[in-house]
Amino acid sequence: MNLKKEFRLKHIVLSLLSSALMLSILGLLSHVKTNLHKTVGDIVLSLNMQTATANAVTSVVTFFRGIDTVGEVTVLFLATTGIALMLSSTQRTYKKVVHQESFILDIGSKMLLNVIVLFGVYVIVHGHLSPGGGFQGGVVIATAFLLLFLANPNMKLKHSILTLGESLSGAAYVLIAIISLFKINILLGNFLPHPVSQIGELVSGGIIPIIYIIVGIKVGSEMSVIVEYFVKEDYLKEVPHA
């Protein structure tokens, strides 16, 4: 009882302190945006026409701050590898879950899969024209697989294909960056033709849609792998070693 009270006291003190801290910071932040200078974003917007990309955010993500995205993809890749390291079943055997098969669920999920994947592909492909892009689309695709797992926990993904997608797309991204170096002497430059007149069309913006497609493949496969590992953790029980 006493102990509990003490702990509560600690909580109260700490939360009061954090509130005080945040209030104080809040006071500071109230005059935060003073716009001393033109932001980089404003310059980017003014330059964006040259990239022939309708979506300025996409051009920032894949072009102006392209190396950020390479890093981001790498982070995701590392996380996937880490999760695979932790949760991969190569060192453990799982028993099959007794799963009550439901016809409707099975068929319904498989039907929905196509629709969802299609939507994901759409989001990816139109990343440079409308809100969305590789990351978003990739996650949409991964949700399709999540649906499959929810319907049938015993399902297995073909890891070799996913790894292929993951690795090759990543490598392709880097290769594009390097090819650009040879072509126009700038890493990750937009070396494909990207006439401004094409803005708003599906084929526009040079390498930007290609990069987003690559990112989409990569994110999609990685997220699927992550989803698979976590779903299996939830559904499948480990068989203790003899």
Positions in 35-54 near another protein (CB under 8 A): 35-49, 54
185: left (phi over 0), alpha (psi -120 to 50) or beta: left
Please report whether residue 171 would count as binding another protein according to CB under 8 A.
Answer: yes
Cβ pair 152, 98 in contact under 8 A: no
Cβ pair 200, 129 in contact under 8 A: yes
Q: Tell me, what DSSP letter sits at residue 107?
A: H
Pairwise CA distance, residues 119 & 137, whole Å: 8
Choices 81-89, 102-110, 116-124, 146-154 (CB under 8 A): range interacting with another protein? 81-89
Cβ pair 149, 228 in contact under 8 A: yes
How many CB atoms lie under 10 A from the CB of residue 140?
23
Choices 32-40, 102-110, 112-120, 147-155 (CB under 8 A): range interacting with another protein? 32-40
Among 29, 115, 118, 203, binds another protein (CB under 8 A): 29
Cβ pair 91, 238 in contact under 8 A: no
Choices 98-106, 112-120, 149-157, 174-182 (CB under 8 A): range interacting with another protein? 174-182
144 or 222: CB nearest another protein: 222
Please report whether residue 118 would count as binding another protein according to CB under 8 A.
Answer: no
Please report whether residue 161 would count as binding another protein according to CB under 8 A.
Answer: no
Choices 69-77, 97-105, 106-114, 149-157 (CB under 8 A): range interacting with another protein? 69-77
Among 137, 165, 170, 209, binds another protein (CB under 8 A): 170
207-235 and 66-87 helices, crossing angle to 10°: 20
Cβ pair 187, 178 in contact under 8 A: yes
7 or 108: CB nearest another protein: 7
207-235 and 159-184 helices, crossing angle to 10°: 160
Please report whether residue 67 would count as binding another protein according to CB under 8 A.
Answer: yes
Among 109, 123, 125, 135, binds another protein (CB under 8 A): 135
Among 115, 131, 156, 239, binds another protein (CB under 8 A): 131
Residues 6+ apart with CB under 8 A from 194: 51, 52, 53, 204, 205, 206, 208
Kindly state the smallest distance separating residue 70's Cβ from another protein, in Å. 6
The binding track of 90-109 with respect to another protein, each residue x by CB under 8 A or -, is xx------------------
